[in-house]
Amino acid sequence: MRVCGWIIRKKVFGKIVILEISGDTSSKPYVLALKKDREPQLFELAKELPIGTALCFEGELAPEQKSKRGVEYIAKEIKVYSKPLEPLPVDTIGKVPALLDTRIKYRYLLLRNPAEKAIFKIRESMLRAAREYFVKNGFMEIQTPKIVAAGAEGGATLFPVKYFEYDAYLSQSPQLYKQMLMSSIPRVYEITPYFRAEKFDTPRHLNESWGIDAEIGFIESEEDVMHVLENLIAYIVDYIRKNNEEELDILGIELKPLSVPFKRITFEEAVEILRSEGIEVPEGEDLTEAAEKKLGEIMASKGYDIFFITRFPWSATGFYYMRNEDGTTRKFDLDYKGLELSSGGQREHRYDKLVEALRDKGLNPEGFKFYLEAFKYGMPPHGGFGLGVERLLVKLLGLNNVREAILFVRDRNRLVP
């Protein structure tokens, strides 16, 4: 067997050199115990290799596994490709904890650390599981533009870009394009970046994040959309439990399965719960982060870690949500342990009602002409959602900050690396 990687730990005990190597396939390190009397040349070579050396070794699984941290091999050959020019700026074994800023700056090196690598192998599984779920349920994967002429939220928090003689922006969401496709493909999904020019600098905000987006046509109500979303998340959790036992073990995480359906409460019920705890929610406004967190604590005490909030007031939603006769909308949020993971609902598919909604929100329908045109040619009732990849990973793994859940961070203060 040939394994390639980097030395993350080295110990010399008399006539034995032990190397721990962060390899290309396993989250746990490969361990070589090189004995002077058994592999004299390899022993002498290993003694001189610094932490961070890039190498490959040929070897076989050791018959007796003595290492508690990794998988032990007996090496027959070692080929050195590169040695670090200076000591590494971070401890890739994790013995010396690094501050979050340092972890972000040197994540490309810290991925040699088993725990750091485990986070991103689980992230990879999340996306693989999502694709598998959608394929099994008849969805088509799409790719929508990331340079757009209008924002899904009507112009707020957009990054302007130079696009020849036109005004253009980075896409906040594939929302409008997903809806347009409902005129011909009734089940679509996209794994996509979101770009939002919000100036927040909190543990839950990024300016470039990733989402799992879906849109479904010919629905009866938002319940059809919620059903897809809750089953998607339960599928992702089951997939990780089955395929990432090694990574969960490294992180010390016991990931429990999620049972569906998830609890549902209306926005009005959420407000009543919060007010009973002395937390005021201004009339017609969305929940603040503090209120969201408190609601999560209250619901968890009742046995509901994950739950939907439904029937949001029109004043607190995007223009594209369908309105009910009582002034509420068919919008929902999905909250998990006090953090909003997803928003979605049933959209307005009737052309005249959609134009009316744009005007009611103070938006000019002319700016959305490309989008509105799709609603003239037999648009079915439809709905969808966007699910935050980093936010879901944070909650599944008990991380403290969304910046721990994305490889290269783009936030208010970071444009490199």
E strands in 242-289: 263-266
Distance CA 298, CA 35 (A): 58
CB atoms within 10 A of CB 407: 12
Residue 217 to residues 110, 208, 242, 305: CA-CA distances in angstroms? Answer: 43, 28, 32, 29
CB 372 within 8 A of CB 351: yes
8 Å CB contact between 256 and 233: no
Closest CA to 221 of 308, 93, 129: 308
Q: What is the DSSP string of 202-225?
A: STT--SEEEEEEEEEES-SSHHHH
Sign of CA dihedral 289, 344, 206, 234: positive
Place of tokens 């999340």: 126
Q: Report the distance separating Cα 257 and Cα 245, nearest Å.
A: 13
Tokens coding 63? 């018959």
Contact 342, 333 (CB under 8 A): yes
Residues written for the chain:
417
Helix (H, G, I), strand (E, B) or coil at 193: strand
Say if CB 19 and CB 9 are below 8 A apart.
yes
As annotated, the active-site residues are 196, 198, 204-205, 340, 343, 391
How far apart CA 358 and CA 377 sit, in angstroms, is 19
Per DSSP bridges, beta strands 166-170 and 147-148 are: antiparallel
DSSP label of 49: P
Tokens (6 digits) for 54: 């890039």
Matching residue, tokens 């134009």: 355
